[in-house]
Structure 1
Amino acid sequence: MEKRLKQSLGIDVSKLNLSLSLGFLSERLVKEFKSHPDVSNDVSGYKELLKWLGKSVDSTVELLVVMEATGVYHQGIAYYLHKQGYAVSVMQSGRVKRYAQSLDQRSKTDALDSRMLSMLGLERSIRLWRPPSKELQQLKALSRERSSLLKDRTIENNRQGAIESSVYSNSKALKRHKNRLKLFNSQIELIEQEMQELTSKNEVLKRKIGFMTSIPGISYISAATVIGETLGFESIVNAKQLTSYAGYDVVLRESGNFKGKTRISKKGNSHIRAALHMPSMTCVRCNPTLKQFYNRLKPKKAKPLVALIAVQRKLLILMYTLWKNEEVYDADFETKKQQKHKALAARDNKLITQPVS
């Protein structure tokens, strides 16, 4: 039997079912695939999957399980297989989509998607997934709930304003709207208290949030939202990946004589972008470094909002850097950096101009 170099299980996840494809890469670099009928996305389906793997997997080669992040539906199987000792990789949808576009595959079915994920695991070097902590999962759920309530409150405010401005305003309807607004405000306040209590019980989380809130203009809620949405930057390895994850990566379309405009992709986490909008407006007023950065960019851009988005991107990278390095924000960091570069440049010039004896 020909030796196998790699084996990968691709799982296409939906709410109710899991589509499975097991791929093998031989030493002649030939790919072979085995399929299995769809199993249910619950414990009984997971056990059926384990039985099939026990019969089909090559025990001499480590198995890699590849799946795409699909909201909450992938979490059950990912946690289950990780607990069983399997190497699991949960891929971001954008990266999976770009890989799928590179294949000569015109049709799209669950079976083809699972085969594509299996092929991805065989061909690429993929970072493994680790389950995030319970506190981070709860923080993300609370920040999402708060975001949803804020949107509902805005809608209710607009409706109330329309009723008050109407000639035929109904006092009873207006009273009901005011009661609903009170309910929204009380629930938002309760959620914010829960977020505070959750992070205060975890000393590491509490300390790291302190580093992020040391940035002038960043509130606790903004920092907690970013941490929750990134699950403590668990899958982030560099600033470029972070900006892409949040949809702040810049894209440009040009072809021949056509010259497109640069813009952010917005193909990322919209909750992070929403959480940084108001802090960025505060930072350009009270943060010396970002204020200078904004004032330098603003005249060069057609719209002030473009410069503000650049501030949001820089702010997100700064938050990530402080979290990772466990440092307090230093307002004079850029000035010290420039002075250091000038000193090094002056020293190099002195060495160049110094006559050789």
Structure 2
Amino acid sequence: MNKKLKQCLGIDVSKSNLSICLGVLNTNLEKEFIGHCDVNNDLSGFKVMVSWIRKAVDNNVELVVLMEATGVYHQRVCQYLYNQGYKVSVMQSGRVKRYAQSLDQRSKTDALDSRMLSMLGLERSLRPWRPPSKELQELRALSRERSSLLKDRNVENNRQGAIESSCYSSSKASKRHLSRLHLIDAQIEAIEVEMQALVSKTTALKRRIQYLESIPGISFISAATVIGETLGFESITSAKQLTSFAGYDVVLRESGRFKGKTKISKKGNSHIRAVLHMPSMTCVRCNPTLKQFYQRLKPHKAKPIVALVAVQRKLLILMYTLWKNEVNYDPEYEIKKQQEPKALAAQDSIMV
């Protein structure tokens, strides 16, 4: 009789529905799948799903629940299942998409996607999801609200310029646009004050953000936005994963005689890339380490922006390193690192 080795519940999340499929891996390495009708993506649907899970799963074998990160729509079901004591894992959409492509599955439905997720969970070792702190979630919400208002301000600035440049300009329309601009500026300022207050009341968060602020060119808003978007780098385990998460991973297209351009994928968190643009321009002027790095790259790149993007990527990794190690920025770190091999070589020569 075949025994169950592993169980995985795949959940395909949409705004209003959840498509669920239970996958079971037996001792002969065969997979079995049990589907269920879609449930609502709300509390009533969660209760129906949990009731079915308790009847369908084998309590002697650990159950893993796997779903794909879908903006904000997966957050409530994640939190609910975590509170119920289930082991939950959330995977980035890029990894799920690449796995789905490897299956050569031409059709795409919610039911097939939930089955694919359960199959993925049976085959891979998954990193458990833990709910981020309330402070980090609030910080991310504030930073995104600020980002949205910045875009609105650019739109209103362009409209104001168009009104003033038109030969049929209206003083009343111009006044209304100016009033909207003042309102947006006031709201942006209020959000920044809220972000400062939120970080100040959490001692550990304030201390660790100050490590990031020790980098020349990094302001509080830049540091707080990166920490909010990554939720304190909670799900990041390496610099490579971080660059992919932010869309800074390099993509090269070549085939036969065709030589494509090398560029970043931009398939990641756009908020991080946007907030690091201005700090990178400051860093190439006042940060000794990144200034030297930029000057070394710039002559070999077709456009200066390419070297500037490389600075942004290096800056993000630097912020991640300081956050994880809980240390301040050391401007002489690169010099000390280069001197270490020389010191070791001198010691070897003395011993000989």
Which residue matches 2:211? 211
Kindly report which structure 2 residues correspond to 1:119-134, keeping only aligned pairs within 5 A, or say none.
Answer: 119-134=119-134
Distance 2:177 2:49 in 1: 51
Unaligned runs of 5+ in 2: none
Which residue matches 1:260? 260
Distance 1:81 1:344 in 2: 54
1:259-316, Cα deviation, whole Å (9 max, x unpaired): 2221111010000000000000000001011000000000000000000000000000
Distance 2:327 2:222 in 1: 18
Distance 2:261 2:179 in 1: 46
Which residue matches 2:5? 5
Q: Do structure 1's residue 222 and structure 2's residue 222 form an aligned pair?
A: yes
Distance 2:65 2:198 in 1: 32
Q: Do structure 1's residue 177 and structure 2's residue 166 form an aligned pair?
A: no
Kindly report which structure 2 residues correspond to 1:193-212, keeping only aligned pairs within 5 A, or say none.
Answer: 193-212=193-212
Distance 1:168 1:284 in 2: 44
Secondary structure at the residue paired with 1:18? strand
1:22-58, Cα deviation, whole Å (9 max, x unpaired): 0000011000000000011111111111111111001
Q: Do structure 1's residue 276 and structure 2's residue 276 form an aligned pair?
A: yes
Distance 1:217 1:254, change over 3 A: same
Which residue matches 2:21? 21
Which residue matches 1:320? 320
Distance 1:348 1:324 in 2: 33
Q: Which moved more, 1:247-256 or 1:300-309?
A: 247-256
Letter matched to residue 35 of structure 1? G
Letter matched to residue 91 of structure 2? M
Secondary structure at the residue paired with 1:37? strand
How far the C-alpha of 1:346 sits from its partner, in A, is 4.4
Aligned length: 352
Q: Which moved more, 1:215-224 or 1:335-344?
A: 335-344
How far the C-alpha of 1:345 sits from its partner, in A, is 3.8
Q: Do structure 1's residue 247 and structure 2's residue 247 form an aligned pair?
A: yes
Distance 2:350 2:3 in 1: 62
Letter matched to residue 321 of structure 1? T
Distance 1:349 1:114, change over 3 A: farther
Q: Do structure 1's residue 57 and structure 2's residue 57 form an aligned pair?
A: yes
Distance 1:171 1:346 in 2: 76
Distance 2:126 2:166 in 1: 59
Distance 1:144 1:30 in 2: 45
Q: Normalised by the size of structure 2, how large is the TM-score?
A: 0.98
Distance 2:164 2:43 in 1: 53
Distance 1:350 1:179 in 2: 75
1:197-235, Cα deviation, whole Å (9 max, x unpaired): 101010000000000000000000000000000000010
Letter matched to residue 242 of structure 1? L
Distance 1:238 1:349 in 2: 37
Letter matched to residue 212 of structure 2? M
How far the C-alpha of 1:163 sits from its partner, in A, is 1.1
Unaligned runs of 5+ in 1: none
Distance 2:86 2:350 in 1: 59
Letter matched to residue 179 of structure 2? N
How far the C-alpha of 1:341 sits from its partner, in A, is 2.1
Letter matched to residue 282 of structure 1? T
Distance 1:331 1:269 in 2: 28
How far the C-alpha of 1:168 sits from its partner, in A, is 1.6
Distance 1:173 1:187 in 2: 21
Distance 2:207 2:346 in 1: 40
Secondary structure at the residue paired with 2:20? strand
Letter matched to residue 119 of structure 1? M
Letter matched to residue 120 of structure 1? L
Kindly report which structure 2 residues correspond to 1:109-148, keeping only aligned pairs within 5 A, or say none.
Answer: 109-148=109-148
Q: Which moved more, 1:339-348 or 1:183-192?
A: 339-348
Secondary structure at the residue paired with 2:70? coil
Letter matched to residue 274 of structure 1? A
Distance 1:253 1:27 in 2: 42
Letter matched to residue 307 of structure 2? A
Identity level (%): 76
Distance 2:86 2:165 in 1: 61
Secondary structure at the residue paired with 1:59? coil
Q: Normalised by the size of structure 1, how large is the TM-score?
A: 0.97
Distance 1:345 1:129 in 2: 46
How far the C-alpha of 1:349 sits from its partner, in A, is 6.4
Distance 2:129 2:346 in 1: 47
How far the C-alpha of 1:348 sits from its partner, in A, is 4.9
Which residue matches 1:337? 337
Secondary structure at the residue paired with 1:28? coil
How far the C-alpha of 1:94 sits from its partner, in A, is 0.6
Letter matched to residue 59 of structure 1? N
1:111-133, Cα deviation, whole Å (9 max, x unpaired): 00000000010000111100000
Distance 2:345 2:119 in 1: 50
1:225-257, Cα deviation, whole Å (9 max, x unpaired): 000000000100011100000000111111112
Distance 1:123 1:345 in 2: 48
Q: Do structure 1's residue 291 and structure 2's residue 291 form an aligned pair?
A: yes
Which residue matches 2:85? 85
